[in-house]
């Protein structure tokens, strides 16, 4: 209809709706069609957006959908099952990497659990929570103490303390957080029926 509108002023209404749909759902073919029509009317084409990856039927990126699914599955688990999953994820983290080598690395565990899985976890209740997910064979030097969470405020810049770890300007444990979250995603999606 836009191609046969006769003038760009009329065609533009159709193109705006098409462009919005194409951008919202990441449909590059629609954006290409909009640019074809604009070219027909001798109007500059829109710049093509960077590939944002595959999208689901609601226009969310696939990664967003995975995160939502993991959070939902985790939330439906019994408390003991949640602890078992996190305990096995900690074991995998130590087995696959050499990233967790100080007591202060518990900060990354707290940030991931707080920001991705359970918003009720905080600096005040984390030490007890961490003891509940610590694997039995965990080295004594890496076990959390009551004083460990008190160090967290020294590790994070004041402006980052209320931010989610993935939105922080400077997260000193960004790589560890990302790796731990990656392990949790795999564990929840592959090991849970």
Task: Report CA-CA distances (Å) from 192 to 48, 74, 81, 103.
Answer: 40, 9, 10, 29
- Give dist(CA 31, CA 69) in Å, integer: 29
pLDDT for res 46: 72
Query: How confident is the model at residue 50, as a pLDDT?
Result: 59
Same domain, residue pair 41 and 70: no
Across residues 101-111, what is the average pLDDT? 93
Contact 104, 148 (CB under 8 A): yes
Residues 141 and 86 grouped into a single domain: yes
Confidence label for 51 from pLDDT (cuts 50, 70 and 90): low
Q: Is the pTM of this model over 0.85?
A: no
Q: Which domain holds residue 4?
A: 1-52
Q: What percent of the chain has pLDDT over 90?
A: 40
| Number of domains, the chain | 2
Residue 108 pLDDT > 80, yes or no?
Answer: yes
Establish if 146 belongs to a structural domain.
yes
Report if residue 57 sits inside a domain: no
């Amino acid at each position: 209809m836009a191609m046969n509108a006769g003038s760009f002023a009329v065609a533009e209404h159709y193109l705006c709706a098409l462009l919005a749909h194409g951008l919202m759902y990441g449909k590059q073919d629609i954006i290409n069609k909009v640019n074809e029509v604009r070219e027909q009317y001798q109007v500059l084409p829109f710049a093509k957006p960077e590939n944002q990856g595959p999208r689901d039927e609601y226009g969310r990126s696939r990664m967003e959908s995975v995160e939502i699914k993991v959070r939902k599955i985790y939330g439906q688990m019994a408390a003991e099952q949640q602890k078992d999953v996190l305990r096995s994820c900690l074991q995998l983290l130590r087995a696959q990497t050499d990233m967790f080598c100080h007591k202060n690395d518990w900060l990354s565990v707290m940030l991931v659990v707080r920001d991705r899985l359970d918003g009720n976890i905080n600096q005040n209740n984390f030490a007890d929570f961490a003891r509940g997910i610590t694997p039995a064979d965990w080295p004594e030097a890496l076990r959390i103490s009551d004083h460990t969470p008190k160090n967290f405020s020294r590790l994070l810049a004041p402006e980052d303390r209320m931010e989610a770890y993935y939105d922080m300007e400077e997260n000193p444990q960004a790589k560890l957080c990302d790796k731990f979250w990656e392990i949790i995603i795999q564990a929840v999606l592959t090991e849970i029926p």
